Structure 1
Amino acid sequence: MKMIAASARVHPLAVVEDGAVIGENVVVGPFCYVGPKVVLHDDVELLQHAVVTGRTVIGRGCRFFPNSVVGGDPQSLHHDGAETTLTVGEKCTFREGVTVNTGTTDGGGKTVIGNNNLFLANSHVAHDCILGDHIVMSNNVLLAGHVIVEDRVILGGGSAVHQFTRIGRQAFIGGLSAVSYDVIPYGMLNGNPGLLSGLNVVGMSRAGIEKATIHEVRRAYKQIFEGEGSIRANAAAIRDDYAGSAPVMQILDFIAAESDRALSSPHRGSKG
Structure 2
Amino acid sequence: MIHPTALIDRKAEVAEGVTIGAYSVIGADVKIASGTQIGSHVVVKGPTSIGKDNRIYQFASIGEDPQDKKYAAEVTRLEIGDRNTIREFTSMHRGTKQDRSVTRIGSDNLFMAYTHVAHDCLIGDHVIMANGASLAGHVRLNSHAILGGFTLVHQFTQIGEYSFAAMGSAITQDVPPFIMVGGKPTRPHGINSVGMERNGISADDIRLIRKAYKIIYKTNLRLEDAIEQMEDMAGDSKPVSDMVSFLRNVTRGILR
In the superposition, the TM-score normalised over structure 2's length comes to 0.97
Cα distance per residue 1:80-130 (max 9 Å; x no partner): 220100000001111000000000111220000000011000000000000
What is the CA–CA distance in structure 2 between the aligned matches of 1:137 and 1:166, rounded to whole Å? 15
2:82 paired residue among 81, 87, 90: 90
Q: Does 1:44 align with 2:26?
A: no
Gapped regions of structure 2 (runs ≥ 5): none
1:235 to 2:221 alignment: no
Say if 2:4 is the partner of 1:18.
no
Shift of 1:224: 2.1
Q: Which residue is 1:270 aligned to?
A: none
Q: Quick one: which of 244, 255, 262 aligns to 2:253?
A: 262
Q: Is 1:57 the equivalent of 2:49?
A: yes
In structure 2, distance between residues paired with 1:211 and 1:196: 21
The alignment yields a C-alpha RMSD, in angstroms, of 1.0
1:39·1:56 contact (CA, 8 Å) conserved in 2?
yes
Look up the equivalent residue of 2:216 and give its one-letter code: I
Matched ranges for 1:153-164 at <5 A: 153-164=145-156
Letter in 2 for 1:229: L
Counterpart of 1:189 in structure 2 is 181
Q: Distance in 2 between matches of 1:29 and 1:241?
A: 55
How is 1:1-272 mapped onto 2 (pairs within 5 angstroms)?
Answer: 9-259=1-251, 261-265=252-256
Contact 1:64 1:93 survives alignment (8 Å): yes
The number of residue pairs the alignment matches comes to 256
Offset of residue 258 of structure 1: 4.5
Cα distance, 1:145 vs. partner? 0.2
- Is the Cα–Cα contact under 8 Å of residues 174 and 250 in structure 2 kept in the other structure? no
- C-alpha separation in 2, matches of 1:52 and 1:138: 22
Q: Is the 8 A contact 1:137 1:156 kept in 2?
A: yes
Unaligned runs of 5+ in 1: 1-8, 266-272
Moved over 3 A (4+): none
The amino acid that maps onto 2:254 is L
| Residue identity (%) | 36
**Quick one: distance in 1 between partners of 2:27 and 2:216?**
49
Shift of 1:254: 0.6
> 2-side partners of 1:211 and 1:105: how far apart?
44
SS at match of 2:201: coil
CA distance in 2, matches of 1:238, 1:171: 18
TM-score (norm 1): 0.92
Q: 2:233 & 2:151 partners in 1: Cα distance?
A: 35
Alpha carbons 1:117, 1:134 under 8 Å: kept: yes
After TM superposition, the structure 1 stretch with the greater mean CA deviation from structure 2, 233-242 or 167-176, is 233-242
State the Cα distance separating 1:210 from its structure 2 match.
Answer: 1.9
Contact 1:180–1:193 (CA under 8 A) maintained in structure 2: no
The 1-side partners of 2:32 and 2:46 are apart by 12
Deviations 1:44-90 (A, max 9, x none): 11111011112000000011111000000000011122010000000
CA positional deviation for 1:227: 2.1
Worse-superposed segment, 213-222 or 99-108 = 213-222
